[in-house]
Amino acid sequence: MANFPVSPGISTTETDLTTSIPAVATSIGGFVGTFNWGPVNYVTPVSNEVQLDSIFSDPDDTTAESFFTAADFLSYSNNLNVVRAQGTGMLNATGSNTGVAIEIDNPTIYFNSIYQTTLASNNYIARFPGGLGNSIAVITFANGAAWTAAATNPSSPYYTYANYFSWAPNTTPYVAQVTNGQVTGDELHILVVDAGGLITGKANSVLEVYQGLSRLKDGLDAYGNANYYKEVIWSQSNYIYNVGVPCSNTVGWGNTTAQQIGTGSFGNDASANVAQFANGNNGVVTSANVVTGLGLFADPTFVQVNLLMTGTSNTVVQNYAIQDVAAVRKDCVAFCSAPLSADQTSSGALTPVLAWGANVAYNSYAVLDTGYKYRYDKYYCSALLAVVGMLKLALTHRIDQLGHQTVQQLDELYRLLADSESKLTNRQKLYSELSKELKDIHSIVREIVRALTDKKIIDSGSRLFAYFYSLADPSHPVYRRLDALACGKESMTSSVSTNLPHTNLKINSEVAQLFW
């Protein structure tokens, strides 16, 4: 646009502001590590720590350094490609204690090798390998009469679960319409439950609900989407795959509508089919397993990565990341850290770090550092909060059972629990403060456990007593470690705990019933 004077001494100027460049996160990270859950040897894009935790689960002492390496990167960027390394002896949990032990690492392997087949002795398996899958149970209602009996009888063990569904399974509308009533009884309901409490922290929490599915391969829902139970579980579940018929009588399951016409009714069990998972194992991750995972980043046409982290890996893995990934791609840099032992040497870190660096084949595609720092572990504190909350819930239940005359006697215990819960909720994110608060809490928990024992609410010889009393022990490794951190005697990137949520919460779910 031309500039021209409107009057003496005054001119107009048009300025184009569209050339300003908005801030965009361009750094794409890559990382291979050890995790408790999630797809194995499979590149998974992650944009934040919440998503990281949702896919790969909470950290424990085995997985903490991997988890927090990824989490720290995500505090600066929103684009990280994560690969869970395979472990030797890794297995998916199976839906039957007599089921076939199997490892299905990721969705691609399932679809290419298992989806079209049926595994003997198995009906469902955990979606990913690992012990976390042992917490899962799957309840299938295919028999309408069995569902009605459970849904209308409060004393039935399946009463609560049956009432997650609105009607008895019968015939899906699509099948009733396209067969003109010639096929009936194809409908079923499926419920995925966290029976052990390892996933949600609360035993018997419902994870997923699938209502009105079909046993027929070509069944559709009201929107024209696939409604075959195996297909729906494959495309929607975060926790399980179907690998067989969840019924001892398999007649009609997996047919098409045309095949089912004139063949009679479907096979049904007399009651709900319950598959409690077992046999899941995390395995042991070796350097060779991590190298295999890093190989997924070697091809720049397959996956983008600018910054490749190696976490706590040894020089074998670090050299592979530098020479066989970064130097081959020529579009990324590998970051390698000295081992924690080198950073903790009393005589100083310089000599051991230099000794480590001499074994690293670094070049212009590598950055070396000593990389350890203090790390606040919110996941462990959440687990402590869950422990205190469970004590509080159990005590409330016990007060209700014993009657109002005992309320005054137990009121002080409840107040102590509320106090400890408040301390955890309002915890300071500094090690010295956290150490002090946890020590206050362990004293409170010890006092509560003693009082509960004195009042005969729990037995001093029970596993429940032993478990909670161990948490109240000031010599517990958690408190000793916090002391070291607070005094500057220890430095680490990983979790501050040695007994972390998943292991402990499994014990919680088993022993909580002893309260009542």
CB atoms inside a 10 Å sphere around CB 299: 11
Q: Which of these ranges, 61-75, 291-305, 420-434, has the smallest mean pLDDT?
A: 420-434
Least confident of 87-96, 186-195, 320-329: 87-96
Please check the confidence at residue 50 and state whether its pLDDT lies above 80. Answer: yes
Beta strands in 4-87 (DSSP E): 5-7, 10-11, 29-33, 44-46, 80-84
Q: What integer pLDDT is reported at residue 470 of this predicted model?
A: 57
* Cα–Cα distance measured from residue 221 to residue 199, given in angstroms and rounded to the nearest whole number: 30
**Residue 335 pLDDT greater than 60, yes or no:** yes
The order of strands in the sheet holding 29-33 is 44-46, 80-84, 29-33, 307-309, 333-337, 366-369
The mean of the pLDDT values for the chain is: 77
Q: Residues 336, 321: contact at Cβ < 8 Å?
A: yes
Interatomic CA distance for residues 308 and 304, integer angstroms: 10
Instruction: Say whether pLDDT at 459 is over 70.
Output: no
The angle subtended at Cα 503 by Cα 441 and Cα 447, nearest 5°, is 25
Distance CA 159, CA 482 (A): 45
- List Cβ<8 Å contacts ≥24 apart for 423-431: 424/381, 424/384, 424/385, 424/388, 425/385, 427/381, 429/376, 429/378, 430/376, 431/374, 431/376, 431/482, 431/485, 431/486, 431/496
Element (H, E) at 516: none
- Helix, coil or strand: residue 511: helix
C-alpha angle with apex 154: 148 to 158, nearest 5 degrees?
60
* Beta-ladder partners of 273: 140
**Residues 499-514: pLDDT tens digits?**
333 333 333 333 333 3
pTM higher than the cut 0.75: no
Contact 515, 400 (CB under 8 A): no
pLDDT at 116: 77
What pLDDT is stored for residue 440 in this prediction? 57
**Per-residue pLDDT for 432 more than 50?**
no
Q: What is the predicted pLDDT for the residue at 455?
A: 57
pLDDT tens column, 100-147? 678 999 999 998 888 877 665 678 999 999 999 999 999 999 999 999
Question: How does pLDDT run across 154-189, given as a tens digit for each residue?
Answer: 999 999 999 999 999 999 999 999 999 899 999 999
Residue 472 pLDDT greater than 60, yes or no: no
Instruction: Give the pLDDT mean for 240-260.
Output: 90
Would you say how long the chain is, in residues?
Answer: 516
End-to-end Cα distance, the chain: 83
Residue 193: what pLDDT?
95
The predicted model gives 253-272 an average pLDDT of 88
DSSP 132-198: GGGGEEEEEE--HHHHHHHHT-TTSTTHHHHTTSSS-----HHHHHHTTTSS---EEEEEEEETTST
Q: What is the pLDDT of residues 479-499, one digit of tens each?
A: 454 455 444 444 333 333 333
The H or E element that residue 359 is part of is none
Is residue 68's pLDDT more than 80?
Answer: yes
Lowest mean pLDDT among 10-24, 48-62, 209-223: 10-24
Write down the pLDDT at residue 516.
29
